Amino acid sequence: SLFRLKDLEVPKLGDCDVHVKMLAAPINPADINMIQGTYPLLSPLPAVGGNEGVGEVLEVGRRVKALKPGDWVIPADAGLGTWRTHGVFPEEMLLKVPSDIPMLCAATLSVNPCTAFRLLADFESLAPGDSIIQNAANSGVGQAIIQIARASGIKTINVVRDRPDLAKLVERLMALGADHVITEEMLRKPEMKDIFKSIPRPRLALNCVGGKSTTEMLRHLQPKGTMVTYGGMAKQPVMVPVSAFIFRDVRLRGFWMTQWRKDHAQDQESMAAMMDALCQLIHRGQLTAPACTEVPLQDYRAALQASMKPFVSSKQILLL
């Protein structure tokens, strides 16, 4: 096993440091990929796992200006190592969030909702009434996309894998505000035309799967539409028919939240604007945490195993 629970000394607090008591941290697919060494970010070993979570500030160094004891903080960047009870971090590695939002919303805020926000904002200028199509719609990002789109009046067509409890999943996504939930098989069926009687064809397709269903999703894009790939869960390439390029001029783009953060490291305003927008949606009840299973830290092994099972629609959250 790659994992051990270890007791470590809490380091001394430097002038620019913040002592954080971690409250909760999720297990995300990228965390697992980092541990397997299949992710472009590698922490020097031995390392603490976990790229996101929420903590409470206990103490701050004398040069720390923006944070005070009692504040809630989340990582400003990937690679913080959130699967721990306490940590001492430089102030610039942390972002303050309101402490009156639900803890699980804060714990799951910095990766999936931020990714969803950027995917909807940065590639096509969408107006109320426009539509988007996305696969793996029950993922953490997928659930955030449904809710953020709903709050902006954008219609969503949500593709999920067929499964034994499909009806239950459809019901849950509809309750979040999904307009249509379909299986990958339905993408190929003539009934797809019925959907486009009531809503326009999507200008934006969001892909985190790859393989055949992605090619099918592309067929439904408007001419000059954009497909953004931000994950590859099927571990298969994206295949695009030549005709889609020539006759419909579709655009293929990629997105990685970690890269966006790097590119905007000096641009505090766009970061703050995104966090404000997301926290406002949370305050209004328009953005909720994904379905979560809370697990005490000592049961981390069970949580890791559960997070790798297929068709799990619940995110494992370590309570610290």
Q: Which residues are catalytic?
A: 39
Contact between 46 and 23 (Cβ < 8 Å): no
Report DSSP letters for 263-280, one per residue: HTTT-HHHHHHHHHHHHH
| Sign of torsion over alpha carbons 151, 156, 159, 165 | positive
Residues 6+ apart with CB under 8 A from 211: 234, 236, 237, 238, 239
* Phi/psi at 97 (5° precision): -130, 155
Element containing residue 284 per DSSP (H, E): none
Question: In terms of residues, how long is the chain?
Answer: 320
Name the residue type at position 190: P
Give the integer Cα–Cα distance in Å for 246 and 24.
Answer: 49
How many C-alpha atoms does 295 have within 13 Å on its Cβ side?
Answer: 22
| DSSP class of 234 | T
Identify the residue whose tokens are 């979560």: 292
Cα angle 285-291-295, degrees, rounded to a multiple of 5: 120
Scanning the chain, the segments in alpha helix (DSSP H) are 29-36, 103-107, 112-121, 140-151, 166-176, 192-198, 212-219, 242-248, 257-263, 268-283, 300-307
Give the integer Cα–Cα distance in Å for 55 and 319.
Answer: 11
